[in-house]
């Protein structure tokens, strides 16, 4: 991003006279005064703290200008300030202006599971032929999507945007903001069911990603999901499906999964072996979605296979790391929901080891009234001949703890409150042996990354 403040003032409909500062060069945007680069425009957002409190700090740390909400009284007269009705709305307007200015193709990705991995795969494949910018980390909401857009270099040809969702209308807004050329839905699960009540309503909300889809755009979705197949009938744009069933446009053949990679061939390129460097054959569907984009943009099967081999994956998504005792740890601590737990548990339970398999699970959040039942339902994927010790964290995991009583002896089943991570870490350090493998998974709000960091303490 590189814009003069005068152009930004026009894009955000600044209310004050900015003529004295019009030629100031802005090279980025930031909403955290502690983490910004020189040349940034500071966006003071209102959350637990009011960002306006940190305007002076932002300017000291390198910001060259700031937005200011009109109802916050007199703006600092001696600073480059753009007065607006609402800084967040202004940020979104600025991102839309910049998107139109750069004019890349836009690929938008959502789904209850797999959207981050799919986003990474799509970006890797398209990078074989185009200059690509993709969503970093978890910048996938009303704030993160605009920031991602504004992070684009001027030579960006394709923007790959991940879109998250926790309420109706959110994807509608984001889709209309970016007007994607391609919209992808990876799958429908139970994530955020607290806010929707049923998978049907989750599917309705996920379909909002098509609301801003360009008239000549393409909708790519899981063709094995009846909820999507039915709703896709109302979408007028071109469509392509992926999945395991042979009635899909792109389906998988010859799937072979190990603890570190999954190989398969795709129906449209049966001669080209694809290897994804990730555990779990559930990642094949994510790869098929990415290959559907490759087909659309005429990326060769050979280039696609090479891109899979060089994936730059977002951290803490089913990633193998080493622990203090020499154990292997499968880190999947960024998010969690019933479908994701069952998939990773199925893969983890098959990983060969001469030691024990130990599973650390934290609460799955945002499951609402169905939470305890969905936690208890995870018991079906636990086989005590394959998993020897279970460590559960959080109040909802009590339901799974109770459901596992008939399967595990009490010495091998552990339950901890959310604030008892130090006790959990002590127990794990006492139990784990070098030959063991450990799965750590939970919703981000449980912060099992702290447990992961403690187990890796001597490896950092």
Report d(CA 320, CA 325) in Å as an integer. 15
- Alpha-carbon gap, residue 76 to 30, rounded angstroms: 19
Q: Which residue, 309, 327, 350, sits at the end of a domain? A: 309
Range of the domain at 258: 104-309
Q: How confident is the model at residue 366 (pLDDT cuts 50, 70, 90)?
A: confident
Q: Where are the beta strands (DSSP E) in 119-268?
A: 132-134, 158-162, 182-185, 218-222, 238-243, 250-257, 262-266
Q: Which of 43, 59, 90 is the last residue of a domain?
A: 90
pLDDT of residue 441: 96
Confidence of residue 318 (pLDDT cuts 50, 70, 90): confident
User: Does residue 207 share a domain with residue 347?
Assistant: no
pLDDT at 192 over 80: no
Rounded to whole angstroms, the Cα distance separating 257 from 279 reads: 7
Least confident of 61-75, 185-199, 408-422: 185-199
State the binding site for ATP.
111-117
Could you tell me what percent of the chain has a pLDDT over 90? 87
Residue 280 lies in a domain: yes
Cα separation, 44 vs 50, whole angstroms: 7
Only one residue has tokens 């969690």, namely: 336
Residue 227: the pLDDT is 96
Judged against a pLDDT cut of 80, whether residue 20 lies above it is answered with yes
Same domain? For 277 and 361 the reply is: no
Let me know: does 83 contact 277? Beta carbons within 8 Å.
no
Q: How confident is the model at residue 75 (pLDDT cuts 50, 70, 90)?
A: confident
- The pTM score is 0.91
Residue 107 CA: distances (Å) to CA of 120, 294, 305: 12, 12, 20
How many domains in the chain?
3
Strand pairing report for 81-84 and 105-110: unpaired
Is 226 in the same domain as 175? yes
Q: Are residues 224 and 339 located together in one domain of the fold?
A: no
CATH number at residue 326: 3.90.190.20
Q: Encode pLDDT of 113-154 as tens digits.
A: 899 999 999 999 999 999 999 999 889 999 999 999 999 999
Q: Is residue 71 situated within a structural domain? A: yes
Domain end, chosen from 272, 290, 309, is at: 309
Same domain, 297 and 357: no
Rounded distance, CA 18 to CA 337, Å?
48
Per the listing, tokens 């940020």 go with 91
pLDDT, tens digit (0-9, with 9 covering 90-100), for 238-256: 999 999 999 999 999 999 9
Binding site, by residue number, is 111-117
Which whole number is the average pLDDT over 33-50? 94
The β-bridge partners of 360 are 391, 440
Residue 321 burial (C-beta neighbours within 10 Å; 0-12, 13-18, 19+) = middle
């Amino acid at each position: 991003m590189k814009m003069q403040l005068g152009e930004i003032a026009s894009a955000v409909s600044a209310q004050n006279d900015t003529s004295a500062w019009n030629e100031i060069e802005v090279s980025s945007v930031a909403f955290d005064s502690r983490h910004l680069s020189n040349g940034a425009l500071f966006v003071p957002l209102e959350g637990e703290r009011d960002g306006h409190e940190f305007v002076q700090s932002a300017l000291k740390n390198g910001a060259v200008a700031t937005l200011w909400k009109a109802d916050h009284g007199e703006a600092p007269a001696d600073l480059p300030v753009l007065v607006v009705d609402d800084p967040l709305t202004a940020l979104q307007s600025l991102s839309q202006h910049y998107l139109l200015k750069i004019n890349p193709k836009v690929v938008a990705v959502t789904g209850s599971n797999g959207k981050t991995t799919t986003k990474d795969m799509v970006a890797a494949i398209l990078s074989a032929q185009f200059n690509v910018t993709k969503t970093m980390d978890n910048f996938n909401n009303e704030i993160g999507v605009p920031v991602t857009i504004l992070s684009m270099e001027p030579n960006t040809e394709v923007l790959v945007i991940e879109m998250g969702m926790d309420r109706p209308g959110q994807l509608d807004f984001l889709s209309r903001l970016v007007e994607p050329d391609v919209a992808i839905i990876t799958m429908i699960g139970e994530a955020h069911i607290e806010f929707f009540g049923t998978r049907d309503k989750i599917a309705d909300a996920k379909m909002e990603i098509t609301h801003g889809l360009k008239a000549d755009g393409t909708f790519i979705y899981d063709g094995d999901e009846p909820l999507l197949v039915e709703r896709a009938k109302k979408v007028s744009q071109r469509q392509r499906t992926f999945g395991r069933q042979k009635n899909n446009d792109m389906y998988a053949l010859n799937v072979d999964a190990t603890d570190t990679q999954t190989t398969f061939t795709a129906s449209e390129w049966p001669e080209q072996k694809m290897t994804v460097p990730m555990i779990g054959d559930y990642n094949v569907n994510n790869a098929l979605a990415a290959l559907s984009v490759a087909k659309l943009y005429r990326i060769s099967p050979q280039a696609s296979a090479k891109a899979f081999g060089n994936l730059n994956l977002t951290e803490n998504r089913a990633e193998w790391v080493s622990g203090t005792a020499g154990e292997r740890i499968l880190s999947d601590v960024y998010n969690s929901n019933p479908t994701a737990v069952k998939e990773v548990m199925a893969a983890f339970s098959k990983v060969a080891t001469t030691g024990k398999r130990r599973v650390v699970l934290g609460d799955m959040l945002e499951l609402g009234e169905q939470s305890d039942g969905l936690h208890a339902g995870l018991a079906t994927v636990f086989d005590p001949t394959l998993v020897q010790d279970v460590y559960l964290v959080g109040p909802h995991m009590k339901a799974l703890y109770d459901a596992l009583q008939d399967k595990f002896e009490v010495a091998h089943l552990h339950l901890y409150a959310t604030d008892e991570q130090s006790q959990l870490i002590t127990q794990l350090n006492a139990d784990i042996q070098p030959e063991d493998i450990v799965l750590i998974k939970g919703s981000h709000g449980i912060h099992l990354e702290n447990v992961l960091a403690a187990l890796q303490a001597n490896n950092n």
